[in-house]
A and B are shown apart, each in its own frame.
Chain A
Amino acid sequence: MRTLKNCWNSWRRLFGDPIRAFGITSVLLLIALAIAPAKDHFSEWRHYQHGYLKLIQSRRDAPVLERHFQAGIHQIWLPKLGVVDRCETCHVGLTETSLGDVRMEPYSRHPAIPHSMQQFGCVVCHRGQGAATTVAAAHDSTLAPNEPILPARYDEAACGQCHHADLEGTPTLNQGRELLARYGCVRCHTIKLPDGSAMQPTDAPPPLTHIADKTTREWIYAWLKDPASYAASATMPNFLLSDQEARDISAFLMANSVPKPGDTASLKATSATNADPAAGASLYGESFCASCHAMQNAAGNLVGGDLGPELTAVGTKVKPEWLTAWLRDPRNYDAGTAMPHYRFTDAQLGLLSGFLESKTNSDLLANVHLDPATPEQIAHGKQLVEVYGCAACHAIRGVPKPDNYGPDLSRVGSKPLAQLVFTAGMPRTLPTYLSNKIEHPRIFGPGLHMPQFTFTPAQVDALTTALLSLTDRSYTLPAKMQIAAVGQSSYTPAGKAGELMTDLNCMACHRINGHGGDMAPDLSWEGSAVQRQWLDAFLKNPNTLRPALIRRMPRFNLTDQERTELTNYIMTVYQNPKIDRDAMPQSGYSAEMVEHGRQLFYGKYACQSCHIVDPVQDRGYIGPTLTDVGSRLNAEWIYLWLKNPQQLRPGTIEPNRGMSDDDARALTAFLTMQKGAGSRKSGAGVASLRTSGTKGVGQ
């Protein structure tokens, strides 16, 4: 009652008198009218623009910066890309090159990139809500839930939306894509690119159809329980199986295996027990097994390549009879293997398998004791194999390859958060979800089957970056902006020589016509480059061309007939149609020309910094040794190579010197004279090709 009275009194005091009432109403109206301009005046972006002006005041180039500065809201509008970006309103100094030392946000300069901001805007790369004019609405996951700013560590994901081929400046993205293909991710998850192609796996999981020929049930059990306990570098993930599950799967795989004729061989010449371990080790080294296979050395470091499986404890895994048969002809067991078919003699087979059998890990199977499998266990094992999708990677008899075993990841980089399950306390952002899913796949609930991989934090970041690049935006951007991935061609060499090359797996290391590995030189134009005699001798006994390389061509012990066949094929088929092999003479250059070439070699072009012509004096280790280049390479090839190396082999590191025709000719004359020891000092035109062709080989 009393309050009511009080209210009435104050009302009368304020509005009782009409003039006073008019005055007060006017003041209230004025305040109401002032709200909008005041809100604008005190807006966040104005505050940041004031801050910028204060920041540049004390700088030496303040006049220039002030002249560039324009107050107000700035906007980049690109209708074709769906971009309305007002980021530059607060990020005022993005294009000021002189602000390189400014670390304070939002004033830092944008780092140099190959694209212009005016052409691409900001959100195409960084995400966020470009049209917003407050910090929270532009960046944060609370106000921009599906497009919050992408953390800087995943920046390279932005490049991957258009660049589906590897870029030199995005190592993290490249690594992530390589891991997706190499760790079998794309065998369970489909990843389609905007052009309709799908990402292809690059790993080669072995078929399990004849697994009982190769190994024991105990080893399968230990491997299933923890692949890393057998080999630290294993690419097979851990399915976190219970003892019972591992027991039943191993029972099923053994029972399901069918023996294959020729998969086992008895050791004849030298048995594993009496083989000379040193001789076995040196044969392992001579055959360059380490180019593809790694082994732990005494210090515990892995040494070797990663094309084939790690061999640190291979003796605990494989049966000796299988190993001998495998080394004799790997394609009998697995027709799709990358392992070359070395033509080892029986004595060599004994040595090598003896050496490999001695590489054991006695702890691995020490506690594995399995009772004979029951039919129920085998049936349960088959169920488990289907549940865990083993057949997505491995060929298993009677189990079809599951289609789309895991969720499709083609647009996972734009996955709405509403479709994701987060664990308690996990920040609700897509990058956090993805990186956690990769690191701990099973924490998101029971019944999940994604296995546990052992990735380093850098690898997790790389994989997350690659996944974040798979966005809706890459489908909506104009198609002409898309740069397609460079896939492998379907080239396979034809005929009998082609069969031989498949048998030797040449293309595991060499690339030919867009198909094959990148460990060794591209052979697409090898027939135009080399001389027949040299090639024949090289195939017989591959000598060292680049002394600084640790991965070298192994000796396959080819028969004379096989060698001739291969040489003929390479010399005939792998020709560059634009190269006329006879355009430059192989010999007969004048002494003055050779001397001029020598001076160019050591003087103007300083080739000795990377190449060796005189083994006593020259010390360059980068390029191939040139002591016998005159009997190795064709003169026209040398000439064209000097003129433009990248044209003959894209990506080669020898710089294009922009040589004049005369210089290139003189250098070619000098180089064709280099025919190995003894003939180096010989005069012009003396050493003919046929007599000195094989002299340089084998040094």
Chain B
Amino acid sequence: MKRKACLITSSIVGTLAVLAACGCARAHKTPTVPHSTAAGSALQVSSGDRQLGSAGAPLPQPLVMQVNDDQGNGVTGALVQFSGPAGVKFDPSEALSDSSGQVTTSVTLGNTAGRYELTAVTYNKTGRALSVQVPELAAGYQEELGYQVQRKYCSRCHDPESTPEQVSNHDNLAVAPHSFDQGNTYNKLSDADLMAIIGHGGPAMNLSALMPPYDKTLTKADIQAVIAYIRLVSDPPYQAPGVVYAKP
């Protein structure tokens, strides 16, 4: 009995020693890991989320996270780690917050088009992880084409934001068009519905006549590209209907 206890103790000690050795070895191998000198109690996105980038290319703007304390002031020296699906690269992938509590990283999205859910994590005083999901959008060829087509033909009415280069017509319309990121509206419509509305105009689906038909102006591929773009930017994200099987 005593011997057994001795054995268990020694094995535990041994395991711990091995683990400690491993930990030390790892810490020695990568001396660049910054040590957290402070802990925040809230993590939020400061800027750079929901950007539309190209697959495999860096996002146009850096992702900036903000670490705050209980009073909402920036915390300096808190460690923030970034992670994402396979293929996403961060530079740097972890960093300490600066004097205003911000951590900046440049993000390169994976090689496939679609929505990427990135995660930013920091740890509070008790060591509990505070994580924030940051969505970013990667456009493939079709979405890129859709973006270009909608910028020329659609966004003047569908994008409420006005710039000196492109004045928005959104607020001038009797029936306000839906901005393309309104997932709650667009996700209910199937690809065929959207194809009908864009191709044959609003009245084709009992919607406003202010939406003109584009089937004689745009090619089918162009319209499909616009739909792909709408699906990409939609918030909440669009879930494609899976394959539907007949019930036995």
Contacts and interface: CB of A to CB of B under 8 A. Distances in A.
A64 B243 CA distance: 9
A172 B157 contact: no
Interface stretch (A2-10, A32-40, A149-157, A667-675): A149-157
Interface in B198-248: 208-210, 212-217, 221, 224-225, 228, 240, 242-243
A105 B242 CA distance: 21
A104 B108 CA distance: 16
Nearest to A149: B111
A407 interface: no
Contact of B58 (A105, A108, A457, A603): A457
Interface of A is mostly: loop
B195 to A, nearest CB: 14
A550 interface: yes
Interface in A77-110: 98, 100-101, 103-105, 108-109
5 contacts: A101-B114, A111-B143, A153-B108, A655-B217, A657-B212
B97 interface: no
A210 to B, nearest CB: 36
A621 B170 CA distance: 10
A548 B221 CA distance: 30
Contacts, number: 120
A30 interface: no
A606 interface: yes
A64 B167 CA distance: 49
A622 interface: yes
Interface of B: 54-58, 60, 85-87, 108, 110-114, 140-145, 148-149, 152-153, 156-157, 164-165, 167, 169, 172-173, 208-210, 212-217, 221, 224-225, 228, 240, 242-243
A605 B226 CA distance: 22
5 A-B pairs with least C-beta separation? A152-B56, A111-B140, A169-B145, A619-B172, A153-B57
Given A112-B142, A657-B212, 6 more contacts: A103-B112, A105-B111, A170-B141, A606-B209, A655-B153, A656-B217
Contacts of A622: 156-157, 169
Nearest to B162: A548
A112 B140 contact: yes
Contact of B209 (A109, A548, A604, A644): A604
Contacts of B148: 168-169, 171
A655 B212 contact: yes
Contacts of B212: 605-606, 609, 655, 657
A112 B141 contact: yes
A153 B56 CA distance: 5
Contacts of A373: none
Interface in A585-639: 603-606, 609-610, 619-622
A113 interface: yes
A461 interface: yes
Interface string A637-659: 00000001010000001011110
B144 A169 contact: yes
A457 B173 CA distance: 39
B86 A105 contact: yes
Nearest to A465: B57
A458 interface: yes
A207 to B, nearest CB: 32
A681 interface: no
Contacts of A103: 85-87, 110, 112, 114
Interface in A91-148: 98, 100-101, 103-105, 108-109, 111-114
Contacts of A610: 169
Interface string A159-192: 0000000001111100000000000000000000
